[in-house]
Amino acid sequence: MAIIITDECINCGACEPECPNNAIYDAGAAWRFSDGTDLKGIIDFGDGNTLNAEEAQAALSDDIYYIVPDKCTECVGFHDEPQCAAVCPVDCCVDDEDVRETEEELHAKKDWLHANG
């Protein structure tokens, strides 16, 4: 699964620098697959979809910090627990019930993001 930031977020920004995948962005900020990863150029998702890793993607929230689920590995391969949740002063970084991934899938995502696979 991925982590989400709930609407209880106070926009303190404590979580953003803790993410090893650069999956956390400020409200309204565009994001890129290439931010904080080894992904460059055209990436192939294996399902017929491709995307330029350096191309800006629309913000997922205009009101609070947000986490890009396709970049979130719950810190697997980096830390013992999600660092965003560990530092959040209001406990609003929680499991995303809609995005479920096994530890093996999270390791594979980490390897894909950081060219270790």
86-98 confidence digits (pLDDT tens): 999 999 999 999 9
Closest by alpha carbon to 66, among 94, 37, 27?
27
28-63 confidence digits (pLDDT tens): 999 999 999 999 999 988 899 999 999 999 999 999
- List the domain range (segments joined by +) for residue 68: 1-116
Measured CA to CA, the distance from residue 111 to residue 94 in angstroms comes to 23
Asked if pLDDT for residue 117 goes beyond 50, the answer is no
Q: What is the mean pLDDT of the chain?
A: 94
Asked if pLDDT for residue 26 goes beyond 80, the answer is yes
pTM of the model: 0.93
What's the structural domain count of the chain? 1
**CATH code, domain with 54:** 3.30.70.20
